[in-house]
Amino acid sequence: MAIHSTNDSGGPPSGWKIQLFANISGSEPFVVQVAIQMTELVDASMIPEAKRDELREAILAITFDGLMPAFEHLKQIRASARENVPELNRRQNYEDFTISLWRAYKDLMPRAVKLMGFDIGFLFQNDTIFEKGLTAFVSARPKDLTPFRPYLRAQRDKWQNELARFRNFLEHKSDANPSAFKSRYEPSHAEELFDAAWQAIAEVLAALISMHFPPGVTLVEIPPEQRNAALPRRFGFAMEGIPPSGV
């Protein structure tokens, strides 16, 4: 399976040119839960229609301009682990992967979040600014946003700060000792990092979109064992008096 794209070239849609965009299955969990489910959640929200269009495009940009390029580099990393690849090429795969993944998380996700009326720029600052910004962020809607305190701290501690340091080393050629980043060139580390980043993106977007749901509607998580393997949706709705259903 692969993902195709098309452009409005005038005339009926049946005449539009279709081209192969990426050899990535549309059933990949990150595609389903970010590109597909987030736009569906937006459609179920009370966000004004004009703003919805912008938000949908911003969410798709996270996937197409950030996560998909990172995933393509991850595929190369997987292949290089099985083949005799020159060290220069092998290392370049990890470095390109890191830069694409950081772009998805640090540049593209906050743009989508801002269209929902939130600013998470503090997430990428030093500890002092982060804590001050987090307090202001949660104070805006204490009841709804309180869970973000431990959640965002955990993301920074577990993987985000490490990814940021490595990305800064690659982009700015800092004075850091290159040997300190040796573990960043391991396939298992890249796999874990990709999963951590895209899942955090999905969780942040879903939680903030749900702030715009109609009264009586809440976001629920579909248990892993109940997800369709062909289209592994993770999120669903719960309405007062009605059993939860998948989106």
Long-range contacts of 58-61 (CB under 8 A, 24+ apart): 58/108, 58/111, 58/112, 58/115, 59/34, 59/35, 59/112, 59/205, 60/35, 61/108, 61/111, 61/112
- The mean predicted confidence, pLDDT, of the chain is 88
Alpha carbon separation from 204 to 33, 38, 117, 141, 201 (Å, rounded): 12, 10, 13, 15, 5
Write out pLDDT tens, residues 3-31: 544 555 555 555 555 555 566 787 899 99
Q: Which residue has the higher pLDDT, 185 or 83?
A: 185
Range of lowest pLDDT (100-109, 171-180, 210-219): 171-180
Name the token pair of 71.
Answer: 């995933």
* 245 — pLDDT class (breaks 50, 70, 90): low
- Give the pLDDT score at 242: 58
Q: Map residue 235 onto helix, strand or coil.
A: strand
Q: How far apart, in whole angstroms, are the C-alpha atoms of residue 9 and residue 85? A: 42
For residue 90, pLDDT over 70 is answered with yes
Percent of the residues in the chain that have a pLDDT greater than 90, as a whole number: 65
- Give the pLDDT score at 62: 98
- Give the pLDDT score at 10: 56
Residue 155 and residue 134 in contact, taking contact as beta carbons nearer than 8 Å: no
Long-range contacts of 173-182 (CB under 8 A, 24+ apart): none
For residue 202, pLDDT over 90 is answered with yes
- Give the pLDDT score at 238: 79
